[in-house]
Amino acid sequence: MKSSEIVKYLPYQKPFLFVDEVIEISENGVIGNYTFQQNEFFYKGHFKDNPITPGVILTETMAQIGVVCLGIYLLKDKISISKKPQIALTSQQVDFYLPVLPNEKITVISTKEYFRFNKLMCKVQMMNAKNKLVCRGSISGMIVTK
């Protein structure tokens, strides 16, 4: 499965799709990016006159790129148009270091810790365009096809 095909199988759509591109993917990890556009729905209220990307959205972005994209790749032989993946976040622990502002492009780097019984656990980090660490942590989820 090509990197460009993975995005088609994601179970998200705008305004809740936070994957622009999967740059690199293998059995052991994934690298992808997303640019937070100025008109994203959450900037209207977070924070008044000083918008920053909420931590929950940063976590979701890391989960979509770092866990879901990788899970789809790992299950590529079981996924098809009729057998789409179903995903459930099971746990996350994330530490935040820098804000992400509107129009900022980030890169997510994920390394597989384990994948067994359809549970995928990854060490994930997010870097800004200046290659500075925005946040990092562990995220796991269950990925099945039906």
At residue 128, the 3 state secondary structure works out as coil
Task: Report pLDDT for 33.
Answer: 98
78 pLDDT above the threshold of 90:
no
Q: Which residues, 6 or more positions from 116, have their beta carbon under 8 angstroms from its beta carbon?
A: none
The confidence score (pLDDT) of residue 63 equals: 97
Model confidence pTM above 0.75: yes
% pLDDT > 70, the chain: 99
Nearest one of 60, 21, 24 to 40, comparing CA atoms: 60
46 catalytic? Reply is: yes
3-state SS, residue 5: helix
Token pair listed for 55: 């931590």
Q: What is the pLDDT of residue 94?
A: 98
Catalytic residue among 35, 46, 123, 128: 46
pLDDT at 81: 64
Q: Is the pLDDT confidence value at 80 over 80? A: no
Residue from 14, 137, 140 nearest 68 by CA: 140
Domains of the chain: 3-145 (3.10.129.10)
Three-class secondary structure of residue 76 per DSSP: coil
Handedness of CA 4, 29, 63, 35 (dihedral sign): negative
Smallest CA-to-CA distance from 32 within 133, 125, 138 is with: 125
Q: Which residues of 109-139 are buried (b: 16+ CB within 10 A; e: fewer)?
A: bbebeebeebbbbbebbbbbeeeeebbbbeb
